[in-house]
Amino acid sequence: MLDKRGTGLSDPVPVRALPTLEEWMDDVRAVLDAVGSDKAALLSGVGSSYLSLLFAATYPQRTSALALVDGYARLTATDDYLVGGITGITDEQVEAIRGGWGSGILLRTLAPGENDDSSLVSSFAEYERQSVSPGMAAAMLRLLYEGDVREVLPAIRVPSLVISHRDSARIPAASTRYLAEHIPGARMVELPGNANLIWAGDQEAVLDLIEEFLTGIRPRRDTTRMLATIFFTDIVGSTATAAALGDTRWRAKLEAFGETLRSTIEQYRGHLIKNTGDGVLATFDGPARAIRCAESIGRSVKELGLRVRCGLHAGEVELMGNDIGGIAVHIGARIMASAEEDEILVSRTIKDLVVGSGIDFTDRGEHELREAVEKRPRGSGAETTRREGTLEAAIEHDVLLGPKPVNGDTNVPELCGPSLSARGAQGGVFAALLPAARSRGPHNSAVRMMSLMRTSA
């Protein structure tokens, strides 16, 4: 992956003195030299077809393979090429790109199916602004429509994969097929869809083809499981609060509480899985965001006269329609059940994943988690057996964390808390063995930690 000369983090170049294709091709060689790579596989999207084709033809000894997604050797039609196709780009089209650059215009042009995702459009607009100036974007666009490297295709003698999209939004599918027809031994695959950005549309189909091409093995993907940060929260003392308020006021309070949770989880890019009565289950793709979300929720609900507790864990979850399941979810629920009022309790997995975030953790005290194994009948009686995915396998070196000061003194860690039992198949017990420890950072909040490690019974 590289930013060629004049783009991204590479040094800028004058708009009226763009590098030649040969110079841009040489940037690839310079990067390989800099990182000590003798040979590499080239993966090209729509903007780098020319230099990838030239490099593979010129340096076959340094190219192990070539994969082109919606590639082309020429974009415009001639009497014997793409007959009836586009003959060039107009000044009006160039000015439209220049004027719209930095607003996501490239996304709207090359992947129109993604335009309904406002967050993606915003991110891509930022990408445009950070890649090149509007003037440079217009100049490079003209260069792409003036280029023609068809003559080098027969000289490419490396394994080549050509992928096109049947209903291509901008790059003529015929231009991609032309590559496969003129690169010796090239493999051609046509996929459904219209996206011309390598990461848009059906990404898994593209990645599977490339992985199989480079490794010889077709990947098998389990789409029913994923890694996630599991987030549980609920209201502390909800029964007593409901009794004191009465049904009508309590219902209004719950509605306001639910709206606060929904908006805050969305703000921190979480996914609300379901309501749990007086709380929620949600997932996040990053544990630091989940912790920040928990902190924000704790502050916000105090304005409603409510107090909450939160439990977080990170692990593999099973996708079950709109719900999730698995041992990691059970661990997250039990971690929350161990939390106290205004406490964010997380596992050691979470703590390890947010190193460098500035979030502080201190010892929360000893905890043991129940229901670590499954009872299965065998022979004439019932015995404890270990199964894949049980708590025994999941938390062998895990930790519970939480921000609970001791008698108002946040400098003294407290070893205490409810005792929950976790016994393994061989009768072992997960027990706290780490000494009390804490650190402070810019956020100045104490989080207590204890390690769940296996010992003999």
Q: For residue 127, what is the domain's CATH number?
A: 3.40.50.1820
- Give the domain-ending residue among 215, 234, 249: 215
CA of residue 363 relative to chain centroid, distance: 30
Q: Are strands 381-385 and 429-432 parallel, antiparallel or unpaired?
A: unpaired
Copy the structure tokens of residue 454. Answer: 């296996």
- Give the domain-ending residue among 215, 247, 267: 215
- End-to-end Cα spacing for the chain: 52
How many Å apart are CA 30 and CA 301, to the nearest integer? Answer: 56
Strand segments, DSSP code E, in 76-203 are: 160-165, 187-191
Q: What share of residues in the chain are helix, strand, coil (percent, to 5)?
A: 40, 25, 40
**Structural domains of the chain, count:** 2
- Structural domain contains residue 220: no
pLDDT at residue 158, rounded to an integer? 95
Q: Token pair 């609300």 is at which residue? A: 272
Both 247 and 186 in a single domain?
no
Both 185 and 116 in a single domain?
yes
**pLDDT above 70 coverage of the chain, percent:** 78
More confidently predicted of 122 and 456? 122
Both 63 and 163 in a single domain?
yes
Work out the angle at residue 411's Cα, subtended by the Cα atoms of residues 405 and 415, and round it to the nearest 5 degrees.
Answer: 60
Q: What is the pLDDT of residues 237-268, one digit of tens each?
A: 998 999 999 999 999 999 999 999 999 999 99
- Give the domain-ending residue among 154, 184, 215: 215
pLDDT at residue 378, rounded to an integer? 33
Both 327 and 436 in a single domain?
yes
- Structural domain contains residue 261: yes
Q: What is the pLDDT of residues 170-227, one digit of tens each?
A: 888 889 999 999 999 999 999 988 888 887 888 888 989 999 999 988 776 656 888 9
- Structural domain contains residue 262: yes
Copy the structure tokens of residue 309. Answer: 């507790």
Both 104 and 137 in a single domain?
yes
Mean pLDDT within 56-68:
94
Mean pLDDT within 85-106:
89
Containing structural domain, residue 209:
15-215
- Structural domain contains residue 4: no
Residue 344 DSSP symbol? E
Both 149 and 190 in a single domain?
yes
Copy the structure tokens of residue 33. Answer: 């030299």
- Structural domain contains residue 1: no
Both 445 and 410 in a single domain?
yes
Half-sphere exposure of 8 (CA within 13 A, CB side): 7
- Structural domain contains residue 258: yes
- pLDDT of 94 strictly over 80: yes
Q: What is the pLDDT of residues 346-392, one digit of tens each?
A: 888 888 888 878 888 876 766 666 543 333 333 333 332 333 333 33
Residue 66 confidence class, pLDDT cut points 50, 70, 90: very high
Report whether 362 contacts 440 (CB < 8 A): no
pLDDT averaged over every residue in the chain: 78
What residue spans of 354-430 are helical by DSSP H? Answer: 391-394
Q: What is the pLDDT of residues 260-289, one digit of tens each?
A: 999 999 999 999 999 988 899 999 998 999
Residue 362 DSSP symbol? B
Report whether 375 contacts 384 (CB < 8 A): yes
Both 154 and 257 in a single domain?
no
- Structural domain contains residue 5: no
Looking at residue 399, its amino acid is V
- Structural domain contains residue 10: no
pLDDT at residue 426, rounded to an integer? 26
Both 37 and 89 in a single domain?
yes
Work out the angle at residue 181's Cα, subtended by the Cα atoms of residues 180 and 187, and round it to the nearest 5 degrees.
Answer: 35
More confidently predicted of 304 and 4? 304
Those residues with Cβ within 8 angstroms of residue 316's Cβ, 6 or more apart along the chain or in another chain: 225, 226, 227, 228, 326, 328
- Residue 354 DSSP SS3: coil
Give the residue among 310, 260, 273, 320 at the shortest CA–CA distance from 290: 310
Both 241 and 202 in a single domain?
no
Report the CATH number at residue 318: 3.30.70.1230
**CA-to-CA separations, 444 to 101, 237, 307, 360, 410, in angstroms, rounded:** 42, 27, 21, 7, 10
Both 39 and 100 in a single domain?
yes
Both 370 and 422 in a single domain?
yes
